[in-house]
Amino acid sequence: MVKSFVSAIEFLDQRDIDPKLYDVARDRDLIDILKLTGRYKPATMYFYSNFVNENVWETSEVSSVTSTGLAQVQFTVNTGSQFPREGDLIFSSNPNNEGVQARVQAVTYGSGTATLTVRTVNNVPFYVNVADEISYPSNAYPEKSDAPTSRRYGVTRYYNNIQIFREKDEISDVQKVAKIEIEIDGQYHMLPYQTLQKLVYMKGSINAQFIAGVKSDTLFNDANPSWQATITCRYKPRGASTGMYLPMASLMKLLPRVHWH
C-alpha cells in the first residue's frame, strides 16, 4: 500500500482545518462612525425638521453715504431684519475710525435698508465709505427715556429627507441547515456568515452616505420627480403562517426608524 493510492480516494484522508474565520477585510472597523460620535436619535416620522437660532448681533454694510467726516453723519446700510435702532452704539471698519464710537440718534427704515443718523460720543469726526462694515455691540439711553424698538429673533427651519437603505439575503432550504467546516459566530452554517457580511455592508453604506453623501434634489412624492420607483415588500407578522404584500409606506410604519444629523 502506497500513499498515492490512499490519497487518490476522495475524502479518505482526514483533513486538518482551522475552524476560525479570520477577518482580513477589516471592513467593520469603518462602519460605526455614527455610533462613536453619538450623532443619531430615534425618528418618529419619515421626514423631519430641525431648527437653528439666529445670531444675537448683526453687522451691516454701508450702501450709500449722505455725509462723512463730521461729528454727526448720515449714511444707509443694508439690513433685511431692521436690526439697527435708535440708541445703539456702533463701531465701523473704516481705518479712520479707530478708537471712535458713535451712537445712533435716528433710524429710518426702507426696503431692506436703514438710514442711520449717528453722532460720535466724544464729538470727534466719524468717517464713512461705501462697503464699510458697521457693528452694533452695545447701546446707551438717557435717564427716563422711551423704550427702544423691540427686536424680533426668528428661527431657521431645515427640512431633512429620510434615505431608505436596502439589502437582500437569500439561501436555499438545504444550505440553511447544512453544516460547514468553519465556525461563524459560534455556528457551523453559511447563513450567519452571509448575514454578518451584509450587516457590515449595510452599516458601512449608511456611514459612507452620512460622511460623503449628496442630498437628492427630488422626492418620490414630488409632482414630477426626476426618477421613480415602485416598491412592494413581503411582510410576515410574528406568529402568522403566511406573509402579506404591503407597499413600502405601509411597511415602514411597522419598522423602527432612525434619522441622522
**Hunting for cell 451712537 — which residue is that?**
103
The C-alpha R_g of the chain, in whole angstroms, comes to 35
Beta strands in 43-149 (DSSP E): 48-53, 59-65, 72-78, 88-92, 102-109, 113-120, 133-139
What pLDDT is stored for residue 236 in this prediction? 47
Q: Which residue has the higher pLDDT, 97 or 46?
A: 97
227, three cell numbers: 426618477
H-only helix segments in the chain: 3-7, 33-37, 173-177, 190-212, 248-252
pTM: 0.54
Say how far apart CA 30 and CA 203 lie, in whole Å: 9
What pLDDT is stored for residue 67 in this prediction? 97
Instruction: Work out the percent of the chain whose per-residue pLDDT is above 70.
Output: 70
pLDDT at 24 over 50: yes
* Residue range 117-160, pLDDT digits in tens: 999 999 999 999 999 999 999 999 999 999 898 988 889 988 76
What pLDDT is stored for residue 197 in this prediction? 82
In the chain, list all ranges with CATH 2.40.30. 59-153
Say how far apart CA 61 and CA 157 lie, in whole Å: 26
243, three cell numbers: 406573509
Mean pLDDT of all residues in 185-198: 79
Closest C-alpha to 75, from 83, 65, 85, 84: 65
* Residues 104-141 as b or e (16 or more Cβ within 10 Å = b): beebeeeeebbbbbbebeeeeebbbeeebebebeeeee
**Residue type for position 47:** F
Q: Which residue has the higher pLDDT, 1 or 128?
A: 128
233, three cell numbers: 415588500
Average pLDDT, the chain: 78
Other Cβ atoms within 10 Å of 210 Cβ, number:
16
* Residue range 75-119, pLDDT digits in tens: 999 997 889 999 999 999 999 999 999 999 999 999 999 999 999
Say how far apart CA 157 and CA 52 lie, in whole Å: 7
The CATH number assigned to the domain with range 59-153 reads: 2.40.30
Say how far apart CA 259 and CA 44 lie, in whole Å: 9
